[in-house]
């Protein structure tokens, strides 16, 4: 039996592509951002992109996407910015909350299996009330729940990315497989993923891959880049290069910006602003530039030939970086998909 999923908040298809690799057919991905459509449908051509806000999605629409008699799998990564540690303010109480709508659709549809992925800080957002509300919806609808803080590096993803993964099933107990890598010495490294890519300079692109583009650097930031060491911080710079905010007492502790990655370690969390040297530890380990968009995509475990824009389309750096940073790493999507397939095979049959 083949298994069918629908992916809410699908973006450009990181989770969908991972589920596809695991053998799950994703009938459709739903997202409010129309700029995700090309990448979503081009890279997983049997999956349809539906442009719609989550509050406008109906249960009838969802039901119609599943084949008759086929187990229903509903997955999604609700936008995590309100819950992220990169966001210094919490959402207003009256702001529309996509996680609540996700829970409401689960309650109405009652899919056989649910997966939700988000930042670990969701556990503490509003004192944990929002997550507990989501979990209570699952409990009250007779789901077995598996909740796990995932260190992506332990699943052979070359990135120090911590995520909260929830798997839930009405059929029985379900869980993720144990970590693949248990020793930090065996983590997948930046070098293993991007070291062989063609060299480029800041403000230039590889003529054979326009996504392999690195942002321009101002004269000041180029001087800072040249003074930066792999794995170091802005504390390594001479004083005349240090930003005024860093010299304040409160700024002395923000050492995770203006840094270079290290060849022998995983990358830091790839964010929506990963194209900028000053936005995190996004400097190339040895070339005087920030990482390229292609390098960011590879560190997010997108396949090397994943197409984010059409050949005749002009590259929008900030939009493409947002698409890459917001995505569920494809390899994590595959781990989630393999857990679901194993579970459904056990309870329903191959």
pLDDT block averages, 10 residues each, the chain of length 350: 92 98 97 97 96 96 95 89 46 62 96 95 86 96 97 97 96 96 95 98 97 97 94 88 67 68 97 92 96 98 97 95 97 98 89
* CA dist list (Å): 348 to 24, 176, 344, 345: 15, 18, 5, 5
CATH-assigned architecture of domain 186-326: Alpha-Beta Complex (3.90)
State the catalytic residue, choosing from 36, 77, 80, 152.
80
Q: What was the pLDDT predicted at 39? A: 98
Q: Is 80 in the active site?
A: yes
Residues 6+ apart with CB under 8 A from 256: 233, 268, 280, 281
The answer for 48, left when phi > 0, alpha when psi is -120 to 50, beta otherwise, is: beta
Helix (H) or strand (E) holding 139: helix 129-140
Task: Return d(Cα 83, Cα 89) in angstroms, integer.
Answer: 9
Task: Give, as one character, the DSSP assignment of residue 349.
Answer: -
Q: What was the pLDDT predicted at 89? A: 45
Listed by start position, the domains of the chain span: 3-183+329-347, 186-326
Q: What was the pLDDT predicted at 93? A: 45
Q: Which of 152, 160, 158 is nearest to 176 (CA)?
A: 152
Q: What are phi and psi of 83, to 5 degrees?
A: -100, -5
Task: Return d(Cα 101, Cα 273) in angstroms, integer.
Answer: 27
Q: What was the pLDDT predicted at 245? A: 67
Q: What was the pLDDT predicted at 248? A: 59
Give the pairing type, strands 162-169 and 267-268: unpaired
Q: What was the pLDDT predicted at 79? A: 79
Q: What was the pLDDT predicted at 46? A: 93
31 strand-pairing partners: 51
The CATH topology of domain 3-183+329-347 is Rossmann fold (3.40.50)
Helix (H) or strand (E) holding 224: helix 219-227
């Amino acid at each position: 039996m083949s298994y069918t999923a629908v992916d809410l908040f699908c973006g450009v298809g990181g989770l969908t592509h991972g589920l596809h690799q695991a053998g799950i057919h994703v009938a459709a991905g739903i997202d409010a951002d129309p700029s995700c459509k090309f990448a979503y449908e081009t890279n997983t051509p049997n999956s349809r992109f539906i442009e719609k806000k989550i509050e406008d999605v109906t249960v009838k629409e969802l039901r119609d996407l599943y084949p008759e008699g086929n187990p229903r799998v509903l997955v999604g990564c609700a936008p995590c910015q309100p819950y992220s540690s990169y966001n210094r303010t919490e959402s207003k109480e009256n702001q529309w909350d996509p996680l609540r709508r996700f829970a409401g659709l689960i309650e109405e549809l009652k899919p056989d299996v649910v997966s939700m992925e988000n930042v670990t800080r969701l556990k503490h957002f509003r004192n944990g009330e929002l997550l507990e509300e989501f979990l209570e919806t699952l409990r009250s609808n007779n789901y077995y729940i598996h909740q796990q803080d995932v260190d992506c590096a332990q699943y052979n993803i070359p990135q120090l990315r911590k995520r909260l993964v929830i798997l839930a099933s009405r059929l029985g107990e379900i869980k993720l497989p144990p970590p693949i890598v248990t020793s930090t010495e065996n983590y997948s490294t930046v070098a293993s993923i991007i070291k062989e890519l063609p060299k480029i300079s800041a403000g230039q692109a590889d003529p054979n891959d326009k996504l392999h583009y690195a942002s321009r650097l101002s004269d000041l930031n180029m001087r800072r880049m040249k003074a930066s060491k792999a794995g170091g911080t802005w504390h390594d710079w001479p004083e005349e290069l240090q930003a005024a905010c860093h010299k304040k007492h409160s700024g002395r502790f923000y050492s995770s910006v203006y840094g270079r990655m290290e060849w022998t370690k995983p990358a830091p969390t790839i964010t929506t602003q990963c194209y900028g040297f000053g936005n995190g530890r996004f400097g190339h380990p040895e070339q005087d530039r920030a990482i390229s968009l292609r390098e960011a995509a590879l560190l997010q475990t997108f396949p090397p030939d994943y197409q984010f824009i059409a050949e005749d389309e002009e590259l929008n750096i900030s939009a493409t970086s947002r698409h890459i940073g917001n995505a569920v790493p494809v390899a994590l999507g595959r781990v989630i998909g393999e857990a679901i397939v194993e579970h459904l095979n056990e309870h329903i049959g191959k």
